[in-house]
Amino acid sequence: MAGLDWTYGVSTLRQWESADYEPSLPVSEKSNPLTRDIDRASAYSIVKMLQVCDSQMFQKEAGTIYQRLLSDQVVKTLMEVAKRVEVIIKDPQESCVVMSGCGTSGRLAFLISSGFNKALSQLNQSEVYSYIIAGGDRALLSSQEAPEDDPRLGVLNLKKVCEGKKRVLFIGISCGLSAPFVAGQLDFCLQHPEVYTPVLVGFNPAHQARDEPIQDCTFTFHSVVQRMQELAKSQKAFLINPAVGPEAISGSSRMKGGSATKILLEAAFSAAHAATSSNTPITHNGVLQHMMAYERTLAVTYSQTDGITTLVEAAGQSLQCSRHVYYLGWGSLALLGLIDASECSPTFGADYEDVRGFIRGGYRELNNNDGPLTSLGPKFSIAHEDFLHLILPCLTDKDTVLLIYTHSDDATEVGNMARRVREKTPNLHAVYHQADGDTAASLQQDDIKKLCLSTLKITWPQEALVSGTLQHMRELSTKLVLNAVSTGAHVLKGKIYQNHMIDLQVTNTKLYRRATRLLQLSACPEEKCEEALLKAIYRVDMLTLEMTSSDITTHTCFARNSTKVVPLALVILLTGWSLVEAESHLKQQPIVREAVAQWMW
Ligand code: F1P
């Protein structure tokens, strides 16, 4: 990557906006021209690419068809949403704000609702925020992709949360404007306007919403969006759908999609909270300023490129030798560790043990709807104590451990944990957030620093403390760092081809379609690609009539128990080998990037 120009020309930065750039794909599924060579980049170059990709979130609207994060219309809609939230906070008895989504979108719904409910409790006000995640609370910590396809389940979940409520602001989040689970909920809201005001958050223009039929439904996501657009004219529904540019890893909406969800909703809710608690009016400038603080967050975070690179390298080395990465976090930053770790399975086909998160206080701190989930299996053990009992005894210097904390966390406790880990491995690192001029904390911090191989110290200006945005900034910053660590580490492990994740799980319709599209990298026609995909899913050389005539839901259910589905299908397509031959070759060359490159050229 020597000579790569980090200041990229405007034409490269905005190439994806051109009408003839991957025209059949919505923005959220396009591949980003900036990261086409990410699979062959060094850790440093990976971090730089992620920085430029993230900065696309804040690009200006000028001269394109796309609305952007800071566009006037987006800010105006956020103000209107904030006003509805303000009314609900002032009259919480029979009203509530419900956020709902699948995968990362549901996890962010949880994170944001927890944070703002806490803020209300601290002011002795009633909590008004609820979250719904497709697949229930277990999906907060593990991959549950199938419920995303179920609109009826979405409605059932929504009805349950809203029982007895007379006024509901429903916020459906689907980065790709695609999840049937959310479409079902929005449709239900549209049918019951006396109670529900629907808001849709996503990152494609309305005309790119998914128009694929949904089983047993008369609507598609696209038709729901059209009905909402009509109602939006009279402010009976709201659409917040700026484009943030294609993801660094194609379709990986956990990255910019997740970050932008957090930015938009926090900007709206913060404005509503300020209006109720300190009588600060909800203004265009206020909302805009809040969003721009996130732009500065990107700058503050990525000013630490070297520190982030060190973490990516360490994590990459651990994964390359089949060892593990552990995030040990405190407070809400730990939640971002849990979320990032949980996304590695669906995104990179990783084992749950590859990257794991732990939170101080376990489920007590998590405070999720269903309480402790430990009985569901080992991947649901999330407390620091669990780490000490289950992981520490087998920890080696090939594992990477990351402490994630702030100056307001108990430094003695962090120090004790650091010492325990240090007895087993020197491969200990810290991500530490401090406020500018906080000298008292830095004395204890010095002791912890000595125990760590590297410390990524992120210093926030005092003004962030005063404006009350500090928590949101630290969270976004931690999200960016951890997304870089887990994405970068998997890239270095060879899981990515160009900027495509080949070894994705094919566990819902969206992912099935994405997989079929990826297979066309082989230059084979679509039907052949789908045939190879089915052979890899069902692990047969000859497909039966029953297999070919089943619907996508049946395929994706079956695919839940199959591994390496897409790489296998790709090898079959490129070589014409039998399934057994392809499987044995993939075993010899498990690095997907190398395996694919070997047969492509
Ligand atoms: C929801 C989602 C993603 C996940 C994966 C499958 O997408 O669960 O969060 O990473 O891509 O889909 P969306 O509805 O927010 O577009």
Ligand 1 centroid from CA 413, angstroms: 36
Residue 92 has pLDDT above 50, yes or no: yes
Mutation to probe ligand 1, out of 111, 175, 224 (largest number of atoms < 8 A from CB): 175
Going by CA atoms, what residue is nearest to atom 2 of ligand 1?
A: 103
Show the tokens assigned to 15.
Answer: 């190439």
Residue 573 has pLDDT above 50, yes or no: yes
Ligand 1 centroid from CA 417, angstroms: 34
Ligand 1 centroid from CA 252, angstroms: 8
The confidence band for 596, taking pLDDT boundaries of 50, 70 and 90, is confident
Lowest mean pLDDT among 144-158, 414-428, 442-456: 442-456
Ligand 1 centroid from CA 99, angstroms: 15
Residue 321: its pLDDT value, please? 93
Mind listing the pLDDT tens digit for each residue in 264-312?
A: 999 999 999 999 988 889 999 999 999 999 999 999 999 999 999 999 9
- Report how far residue 284's alpha carbon sits from residue 291's, in angstroms, rounded to the nearest whole number: 11
Q: Quote the crossing angle between the two packed helices 552-559 and 509-519, to the nearest 10°.
A: 80
Under 8 Å between Cβ of 95 and 168: yes
- DSSP-derived 3-state class of residue 240: strand
Ligand 1 centroid from CA 425, angstroms: 35
Which ipTM did the prediction report? Answer: 0.95
Ranges of beta strands (E only) in 75-160 are 95-101, 129-133
Q: Which amino acids bring their CB within 6 angstroms of ligand 1? A: 101-105, 145, 148, 174-176, 178-179, 253-254, 346, 510
Mutation to probe ligand 1, out of 27, 102, 222 (largest number of atoms < 8 A from CB): 102
Over residues 516-525, mean pLDDT: 92
Q: Which atom of ligand 1 is nearest to the CA of 347?
A: 10
Nearest to 228 by CA among 160, 159, 171, 288: 171
Under 8 Å between Cβ of 327 and 404: yes
Mind listing the pLDDT tens digit for each residue in 394-448?
A: 999 999 999 999 998 999 999 999 999 999 999 999 999 998 877 666 677 889 9
pTM assigned to the model: 0.94
Q: Is 171 left (phi over 0), alpha (psi -120 to 50) or beta?
A: beta
Residue 561: its pLDDT value, please? 84
Q: Which atom of ligand 1 is nearest to the CA of 177?
A: 16
Write the CB contacts of 587 (distance below 8 Å, at least 6 apart in sequence): none
Residue 600: its pLDDT value, please? 66
Q: Which atom of ligand 1 is nearest to the CA of 134?
A: 8
Residue 542 has pLDDT above 80, yes or no: yes
**% pLDDT > 90, the chain:** 82
Mutation to probe ligand 1, out of 30, 148, 518 (largest number of atoms < 8 A from CB): 148
Residue 589 has pLDDT above 90, yes or no: no
Q: Which atom of ligand 1 is nearest to the CA of 182?
A: 14
Burial code (b: 16+ CB inside 10 Å, e: under 16) for 556-579 equals: bebbeeeebbbbbbbbbbbeebeb
